Amino acid sequence: MCGIAGKINFAGPVDVALLHRMCAAMTHRGPDSRGVWVDDGVGFGMQRLAIIDVAGGEQPIFNEDGTIALVMNGEIYNFPELRAELRKRGHRFSSGVDTEVIVHLYEDCGKDLVHHLRGMFAFALWDGRQRKLFCARDRVGKKPLLWARNGSRVWFASEIRALLEDDEIDRGIDLAAIDAFLAYQYVPHPLSAFYEIRKLPPASTLMVTEHDETIEKYWALDYSRKLDKSPRAELEEQLRAHIREATRIRLMSEVPLGAFLSGGIDSSAVVAAMAEQLSEPVKTFSISFSDAAFDEARYARMIAQKYDTDHHEFRVEPEALTIMPKLARHYGEPFADPSAIPSFYLAELTSQHVTVALNGDGGDESFAGYARYFGNDPVSRLAWLPRPLRRGAPLLAELLPEGRAEKSMSARIRRLSARLAKERDARWVNCMSVFDDAERSRLLSADFRAEIGSNDADEVILTPWHESTASSRIDLLLDVDIKTYLPGALLVKMDIATMAHSVEARSPFLDQELMQFAASLPGDLKLHGDNGKHILKSAMRGVLPDEILDRNKMGFGVPLVTWFRNELRDLPQEVLLDPRTIGRGYFKRAEIERVINEHQRSQADHSFRLWALLALEMWHREVVEAPTMRAQVLG
């Protein structure tokens, strides 16, 4: 695990001092050592967090004759098998580190090497003979890779802050990316908040030569082959076996490891699998809140007691928002998933005890764990109504008296009517949006709207929706989330939070074999009525306590809705109505005031919207306006 960075100059030299600055900007990702290599217009750098072959796994890694150089961020879990096979084919290894198998696979397979890898990774490989750069990112996007090109110069890095060490990279802000951020709380790939910087999408390779570059997708889940003839008990046993195996291969480490434990089904299943396979107590780490509606600590303690873990807990209070500037600097672009706050503190707590932590990420997206998967059903059950009547529903709802409270019957009918008027794909876009298109139209200034022109943030969801080959409704929703929300929000959150504290996060539920098995299950085994994770719950019955399996999902959030009405009531107004914020020209002041006032009067829950606006402004102040930045903003 590490941070990687590099620059290629097809027309001249690369400054070794730049590589050191890029690495220094990511010291937190790999504090154990630094490797820098520069040769004939190419420079690679990396900061290493030593996990495997601690003594001998320095990077860059080279092939036998030094014509191929590689830096990688991540772990290849099947490297022992690959290493043995490559040795049989005559390859010689100089270390025991997993990274080295990639250079030899490239010699044998070229760009197709990615099909042989099982793990989480982002790597960059320089082919000195053909003078080309080959990069790749893992299947679901666990590990990030950002890149930029300007003429003969090409850059790549694990984090934006490393790229911004080079003054030759344009700092212009991509307003289309900001528009998408306001819609979804994150900047979706391939965009970044900076116009010249782009993200390599998950399951993609990038080949760069002096004259062009090519991005190719190499993997996607197959939802077409269903295990609909297999007995239920057999499928449950296969699922347990997949979880055990996915966990087993992620226990490979020469340094202490533990687990994040929320008390939900996914993290509890991982801890159970760890406890079964480790000879000493699992070290577990949890977050608690004083607000009982958000606090899962008692469930985490229940699992910790059942499996006799070495358990540690941290309480998050409202003053936790003081880390907002630090979050902005680490993410490098606007990011507004509120669970970044507890995740950041959880990683900090964990770093005091272990270097590797397993988690339950990915279970919801494979087994239908989110309420939104069945929350749309009331609308779907009314889809038989004639289209003119459905489209006229919002006008009829306007005749109702305006409800003052966000949970009033009038307010609920208005929301239901608005969704009913939309087609199924547009309803999902609306479900996933913080500020939907209509709300952004009200919020954004005329200058901002003119700048982004015909850009349509809805396409972030609509494109994978219409490209999906899933045939059932639930598989379609899971497929879209795995291609958008999972890599864009959840995995970014976890990567930044853990690497900020030099912790490696591993996710058994994101194992490609386990995910493909889940994709092959019939939809009604994942979502049965309003029971999400149906087969996962039944498979774990008897392994996990019934209280864990039968409780309502809480999510890993923070009580922003009450904080912004009580302890932090003044914060949105102080920051968002500050002349410095308004002066950027992004928003209409009256709309910002409306959002603040409606939330504080409990007329609506705008907590996520307020958090997104605060995150955007904090990014401007901490990143865009930092001394080394020269970003373009609206006047």
65, pLDDT greater than 70? yes
pLDDT in tens, 33-56: 999 999 999 999 999 988 877 766
Q: Residue 29 has what DSSP assignment?
A: G
Mean pLDDT of 613-630: 84
135, pLDDT greater than 80? yes
26, pLDDT greater than 50? yes
Mean pLDDT of 560-582: 94
319, pLDDT greater than 60? yes
Q: For residues 49 and 99, what is the distance between their CA atoms, to the nearest angstrom? A: 13
Q: For residues 578 and 592, what is the distance between their CA atoms, to the nearest angstrom? A: 11
The overall average pLDDT reported for the chain is 90
Q: For residues 66 and 622, what is the distance between their CA atoms, to the nearest angstrom? A: 41
316, pLDDT greater than 80? no
Q: Which CATH class is domain 2-217?
A: alpha beta
553, pLDDT greater than 90? no
Residue carrying structure tokens 């007691």:
305
Mean pLDDT of 59-66: 92
Binning pLDDT at 50, 70 and 90, where does residue 385 land?
low
Residue carrying structure tokens 């996933």:
432
Mean pLDDT of 450-465: 93
CATH superfamily for domain 232-369+472-550: HUPs (3.40.50.620)
Q: For residues 444 and 228, what is the distance between their CA atoms, to the nearest angstrom? A: 49
Residue 635 pLDDT: 36
272, pLDDT greater than 50? yes
Residue 87 pLDDT: 94
Which residues are within 8 A (CB) of 483 and not within 5 positions of it... i.e. 6 or more apart? Answer: 202, 464
Residue 633 pLDDT: 39
160, pLDDT greater than 80? yes
21, pLDDT greater than 60? yes
Residue 616 pLDDT: 98
Residue 596 pLDDT: 97
Residue 630 pLDDT: 36
- How many percent of the chain have pLDDT more than 90? 76
Residue 631 pLDDT: 35
Which residues are identified as catalytic? 2
pLDDT in tens, 349-370: 999 999 999 999 999 999 999 9
372, pLDDT greater than 80? yes
Distance in Å from the first CA to the final CA of the chain: 41
Residue by residue, what is the 3-state secondary structure of 466-482? HHCCCCCHHHHHHHHHH
Mean pLDDT of 261-269: 95
Mean pLDDT of 443-453: 94
**Domain coordinates in residue numbering, the chain:** 2-217, 232-369+472-550, 559-635
